[in-house]
Structure 1
Amino acid sequence: MIPMLSARVLFFHAALWICLIFPQEASSLSPAAAIRHVSVRHPISSPYYPVVLKGKELPPLLHAPAAKISLYAFHDPEGLKPIPFQIDRRDMNGRFLIPADKKEQERQGRSPMDKNDELVFMASDAGEQTLTRLEGMTFSSAVEIEIRDPIKNIRKWVYAWVLDHETSQAGMPHYVSYRPKDDVIESQTYRVGFSRKTPFVMDALNWKGASPHEYGANLADKMKARHSGKFLHKLDFVRTEEDSESRLTAVKQGPVRVIRCTVNRARLFMGLRTPAITIYHIHYANAFFLDTFIEIPFRIGLFFSDLKTLMTMDGNDG
């Protein structure tokens, strides 16, 4: 009579048999094999380019708490080293979500990265591919990010670690800084100052000199804003920066970029003002950009037509 074997005993013998037949399978896995790969297209032909990647371009990082992400790059002969980076939050409409205080900053750090957020680092910090050199590294998950220049045949890599604890960038270099007392942004290339009366107006631009705190003459003469159009489709109006109401609402300082937000309106007539215009000054080590958002709580065509806005900067001879 053949004795009956329990399902548990059968399972044990089957598992033991598989291990004896395939003894190498369980031991061949390495940290490098567990790394996920992402390839993105972004200009990197100049070391001065910032690399700005949306969360939707980095699926393996989605839902990872921002404060637990670290970024590394490999450069020979230095090896694999952490590089400066930052994660900036944007909402579904593209507006930056700048924390108002340290408590909000910590809350954002604990929150998972989503598809609208941006991972930012400098092209000069990206390095070589180095999967074979990751043995012994510990992480809960990791992503190899390959950056391909869309025009030139250039590729670079960075590695994002997701750890099981919060990370710190203490001691990491900052490519740009902000002085809140003077409302001034500085880098190793330039310094920018803003008008106290109308904070969206840039009234100082100086190139960096040879010494650490030396700057050249102010190259900015006057920043001008001109708004024109027709009210009720008949009444022509023209307004300039002198007719503006502007307030500085938030600033985020990071190692790669400074984001400075102002909310602005132009006075029209009879107590009327334009809809709110939110301007983000985004400053990097060697360049700066403006993102502008206009809140229009009504159908603008009901009241206005032929609307135009022009912003210019008059310069001094440098």
Structure 2
Amino acid sequence: MTGRQGWIGVIALLLSVTSPLKAREIWTDGVPDAYFKHFVEFYKADPSAMGRWATGLTRISTEQLDYTLKALDTTQFTYLYPMEIKGYDLPRHNGIPTEELSLMAVRAGKLIPVPYQIDEFDKTGLIWIEGENDSKAEGDPRIFDDFDELVFMFRDGGWDRFDPAQHTLAEGQMLEEIRLDSPRNKPRYLYLVRNNSERSRADYVQVDLDEGWIQTTLMRMEFEPKDFTQIQSMAPRLGPHKDENVFDNIYVNISTGILNQNLRVDLDTRKNIKATPLAVKDGAVRASMLVKARVWYAYLPTFFSQKFQVDFYEQSVTIPSRFAIGSMKVLKFFLMFLREPRIHFAIDFQNLDGARLTFDSVYDNKQYGIVDGTMSDFETRMNATRLPGDWLHLDSNQGWEMFFSNHMPVVPNGLFDAFLDGVTMNMFYEDDANSTTKYEHDPGATPRLGFQSEGIPDTVIDLMGAIPKLDFQNMDSLGEAIVALAAAEQDGAFEKYDEVVNKKLAELKADGRIGTVDALADAFIADLDRMNFSGIPRDTFNQIVHQAIVDTTPAVDQIHHGKVLARMITLASDQGIDIRRLRYATMDNTLWFPAWVGEGGASDFQWQVSHAPTATPLGPVAVPASKPAHPPEAAPAATAPAATSPSGSSATAP
């Protein structure tokens, strides 16, 4: 052990003794200083460095990792944060062929290409992959338009702004300057350019559906190619625990009556619930996998199937659960058949001895459960907690962590939660090396984590039956549904629906939980704000909804939904917004995989999640006329700088 490694070990011991918040495994090996310094300078100049030097960094130390993030002026969160800009936020550039667009930044004094991608979606919000979607594309897949997404990483922006006197755009046209702002980092700048043939060599995530694997710069996951629920392994690619699998199994069981509670069936991911990967849009920044979930029974496919997508980034995974017009039909159809369902969901981990786990609802004293094979009093409390709150945190004790951001629109003890009467639910946590199940590959709960529920929300069932009967099948967006539903108010279409809701609101008023109309609107927005609505900016939409409730509701238990919707249309129109632009909503539940949540602990990481970086288009940049772009076949090949390997030999990045 070198002197430096010894000091790191002492520091790690002191941190673990004096501050449980900061406990983390310290990687002490490190790569040679000369190699590391060369890497950092290259990384500051070119975002592709990490991927191209990854094999030489497998023994990187914690000290070196932290130094890298400081050198890039990022926090643990902003380093891994991906960003998107919708086409409607760049209206002047709508109509341009997507293949003509790219992103650049000034890094180390040079204007260079940075990783990006432009994704198309269908009208329900699913990633558009030719030949795989049930709905039409939102626009022309070849053209940059309203609901396309321009995707990039916050960290890849440059600190310096483009200056024609200092920087050169070798070819093409500079269209737009974009500023990236973060509460804890200096502003960064990106440039949208047209007809420039340069492209970054960075590729943060790769997927092979035929072989069943997903790999990023920092992790690798393997799964059964025909069923994504059968994840076989997940392992880091850096550090002393490189290639050590921490994943055992994911398990879902639904036990339910069909039409009556006595005729029961058991459905689970071993036999009945399959999630088949159909296709993937694999870009430089994210890979969006289109998956078809289907329930099988007696070895035959049933009527119930649903497509969804999973977005993989370098250090995060997002499942953007959609709420579109078709969602109401699917939910109503599904609930119509179920009687007294019991749901059990669990993720079984392994090789996580010494890991720490907690979640928002039980974090009042900043306590953690420790994976040690026995259930402590705190872990028993975790197991009995109804909802996790806004987040869940797992510190692997191996130099990487997992942080779950919960975007289900149910705030504990909030408005929507009150409508879940008839359902019992609780978190599920087990830390017992001797506990075995039929579905695991390796015996023992080390740990096992998930949730379980029983019953169906009676009020929600009543509401589903009271939804005004309109032809939603021919509506492409939530906005169109709002217009149609507002018009239906004149025919008394909401009478039964209002009655069901107001009965529940009267109970909440009597219990003292909601005393004023303003409080009612606030409670509604608190739940709604966990969702991401496409087509109208979040703050604008929230303000419209809040004001519409206040303007049309005389008392807490006298809400008239048709009037609220009609008022929303008027308020939007007053701001020059066509409410029909509201396409769909997503619940962007995300698993982040930071090296560490940082000195502020899990609650501070959540603060950063909720105060994420923003992108602001600043307009065009005047630059001298450049050379015409090379035809694609004549584009000059990018030359990779030589990288020195840890052994000291010269190695060209792949």
1:98 is aligned, of 129, 134, 137, to 129
Q: Tell me the distance in 2 between the aligned counterparts of 1:173 and 1:238.
A: 46
Contact 2:257 2:341 in 1 (8 A): yes
Q: 1:9-51: per-residue Cα shift (whole Å, max 9, x none)?
A: xxxxxxxxxxxxxxxxxxxxxxxxxxxxxxxxxx996111111
Matched, 1:240 2:274: no
Matched, 1:178 2:207: yes
1:305–1:65: structure 2 CA closer, same or farther, 3 Å change rule?
Answer: farther
1:53 is aligned, of 76, 82, 85, to 85
Q: Which residue of the partner structure matches residue 119 of structure 2?
A: 88
1:261 is aligned, of 284, 290, 298, to 290
Q: Which residue of the partner structure matches residue 71 of structure 1?
A: 103
Q: Which residue of the partner structure matches residue 309 of structure 2?
A: 280
Q: Tell me the distance in 2 between the aligned counterparts of 1:61 and 1:305.
A: 52
Deviation, 1:94, is 0.7
Q: Tell me the distance in 1 between the aligned counterparts of 2:85 and 2:117.
A: 11
Q: Which residue of the partner structure matches residue 582 of structure 2?
A: none
- Structure that is richer in helix per residue: 2
Amino acid at match of 2:180: I
TM normalised by structure 1 equals: 0.70
Higher mean alpha-carbon deviation, 137-146 vs 289-298, is at 289-298
Contact 1:277 1:292 in 2 (8 A): no
Amino acid at match of 1:124: R
Matched, 1:148 2:176: no
Deviation, 1:141, is 5.4
Three-state SS of the structure 1 residue aligned to 2:207 is: strand
**Which consecutive residues of structure 1, in runs of 5 or more, have no partner in the other structure?**
1-42, 102-107
Q: Which residue of the partner structure matches residue 143 of structure 2?
A: 112
Higher mean alpha-carbon deviation, 199-208 vs 126-135, is at 126-135
Deviation, 1:224, is 1.1
Percentage of identical aligned residues: 20
Q: Tell me the distance in 1 between the aligned counterparts of 2:83 and 2:331.
A: 37
TM normalised by structure 2 equals: 0.36
Contact 2:88 2:145 in 1 (8 A): yes
Three-state SS of the structure 2 residue aligned to 1:285 is: coil
Q: Which residue of the partner structure matches residue 249 of structure 1?
A: 278
Amino acid at match of 1:218: N
Q: Tell me the distance in 1 between the aligned counterparts of 2:76 and 2:100.
A: 26
Contact 1:85 1:255 in 2 (8 A): yes
Q: Tell me the distance in 2 between the aligned counterparts of 1:316 and 1:122.
A: 31
Contact 1:185 1:191 in 2 (8 A): yes
Deviation, 1:179, is 3.3
Amino acid at match of 1:245: K
Three-state SS of the structure 2 residue aligned to 1:46 is: helix
Aligned residues: 263
1:46–1:153: structure 2 CA closer, same or farther, 3 Å change rule?
Answer: closer
Amino acid at match of 2:243: G
Deviation, 1:123, is 1.3
Q: Tell me the distance in 2 between the aligned counterparts of 1:286 and 1:159.
A: 24
Q: 1:197-231: per-residue Cα shift (whole Å, max 9, x none)?
A: 523432210111459xx942211101112335443
1:290–1:271: structure 2 CA closer, same or farther, 3 Å change rule?
Answer: same
Deviation, 1:57, is 2.2
2:161 is aligned, of 121, 130, 135, to 130
Three-state SS of the structure 2 residue aligned to 1:56 is: helix
Deviation, 1:96, is 0.4
Deviation, 1:275, is 2.2
Three-state SS of the structure 1 residue aligned to 2:102 is: strand
1:309–1:133: structure 2 CA closer, same or farther, 3 Å change rule?
Answer: farther
Higher mean alpha-carbon deviation, 301-310 vs 65-74, is at 301-310
Q: Tell me the distance in 2 between the aligned counterparts of 1:96 and 1:45.
A: 25
Q: Tell me the distance in 1 between the aligned counterparts of 2:144 and 2:76.
A: 24
Contact 1:89 1:117 in 2 (8 A): yes
Q: Tell me the distance in 2 between the aligned counterparts of 1:286 and 1:181.
A: 23
Q: 1:145-168: per-residue Cα shift (whole Å, max 9, x none)?
A: 12223x5464221100123x8x46
Q: Tell me the distance in 2 between the aligned counterparts of 1:209 and 1:270.
A: 42
Contact 2:106 2:162 in 1 (8 A): no
Higher mean alpha-carbon deviation, 243-252 vs 115-124, is at 243-252
Q: Tell me the distance in 1 between the aligned counterparts of 2:154 and 2:308.
A: 26
Contact 2:126 2:308 in 1 (8 A): no
Q: Tell me the distance in 2 between the aligned counterparts of 1:159 and 1:276.
A: 42
**RMSD over aligned Cα, in angstroms?**
3.4
Contact 1:203 1:223 in 2 (8 A): no
Contact 1:229 1:306 in 2 (8 A): yes
Deviation, 1:280, is 1.9
Matched, 1:303 2:330: no
Deviation, 1:236, is 4.4
Q: Tell me the distance in 2 between the aligned counterparts of 1:181 and 1:267.
A: 22
- Structure that is richer in strand per residue: 1
1:303–1:118: structure 2 CA closer, same or farther, 3 Å change rule?
Answer: same
Contact 2:174 2:191 in 1 (8 A): no
Q: 1:35-94: per-residue Cα shift (whole Å, max 9, x none)?
A: xxxxxxxx996111111222222223322111000100112x332111011111112211
Q: Tell me the distance in 1 between the aligned counterparts of 2:243 and 2:110.
A: 38
Contact 2:226 2:277 in 1 (8 A): no
Amino acid at match of 2:177: E
Contact 1:67 1:110 in 2 (8 A): no
Q: Which residue of the partner structure matches residue 258 of structure 2?
A: 231
Three-state SS of the structure 2 residue aligned to 1:177 is: strand
Q: Tell me the distance in 1 between the aligned counterparts of 2:198 and 2:116.
A: 11
1:71–1:55: structure 2 CA closer, same or farther, 3 Å change rule?
Answer: same
Three-state SS of the structure 1 residue aligned to 2:201 is: coil
1:91–1:109: structure 2 CA closer, same or farther, 3 Å change rule?
Answer: closer
Higher mean alpha-carbon deviation, 294-303 vs 198-207, is at 294-303
1:314 is aligned, of 348, 371, 396, to 348
Contact 1:183 1:194 in 2 (8 A): yes
Contact 1:100 1:250 in 2 (8 A): no
Deviation, 1:292, is 4.1
**Which consecutive residues of structure 2, in runs of 5 or more, have no partner in the other structure?**
1-74, 133-138, 353-654
Q: Tell me the distance in 2 between the aligned counterparts of 1:297 and 1:200.
A: 21
